[in-house]
Amino acid sequence: MKPDIQSRADIILLVDTFYQQVLIDETIGYIFTDVVKIQVEEHMPVMYDFWCSVLLREQSYQGNVMLKHIALNRRVSLTEAHFDRWVFLWNSTIQSLFEGPVVEEAKRRVDAMKQLMMFKVNQSKRDGFIQ
């Protein structure tokens, strides 16, 4: 039996393993490596804080994930295929490492994020869009 997500160390393992997949993925990897050109050393602590806030109620994330994705969409068109691949990689990563109630919450959250981000990204293309 695999453990459930319980600590920041678990989040770090999850996010690090997930990004190992994302950065080399044929569908979405280029967004991170060629478009955004993320600096892994700077980006990863932000992702740890984000997921700790979402899953562990840590209140450590300071930012607006939606605005970042809307701005990113202005640089490269984010499609449902991109978000589907992101969800697939997230779910396969999480299932390879953990199981339990927090894992199920993480899957629900990522699906909800996908839906909301797709809606907001598409709305942001319209005249008069207000965040």
Provide the residue-wise pLDDT of the chain in tens; the chain has 131 residues: 999 999 999 999 999 999 999 999 999 999 999 999 999 999 999 999 999 999 999 988 888 888 899 999 999 999 999 999 999 999 999 999 999 999 999 999 999 999 999 998 888 877 766 66
Residue 130, pLDDT score:
64
- The phi and psi torsions of 61 (rounded to 5 degrees) equal -80, 130
pLDDT of residue 77: 93
> What burial letters (b/e) apply to 91-100, b meaning 16+ CB within 10 Å?
bebbeeebee
Collect contacts of 34-40 with beta carbons under 8 A, ≥24 apart: 35/72, 35/75, 35/76, 36/72, 36/75
pLDDT at 108: 96
| The predicted structure's pLDDT at residue 126 | 75
Angle at 116 between CA 112 and CA 121, to 5 degrees: 150
Give the per-residue pLDDT at 48: 97
Radius of gyration (C-alpha) of the chain in whole angstroms? 15
Q: How many residues does the chain have?
A: 131
84 φψ region: left (φ > 0), alpha (ψ -120 to 50), beta (else): alpha
pLDDT of residue 62: 87
| pLDDT of amino acid 28 | 97
With respect to CATH, is domain 8-123 assigned 1.10.490.10?
Answer: yes
pLDDT score at 63: 86
Confidence (pTM) = 0.92
What 3-state DSSP class applies to 38?
coil
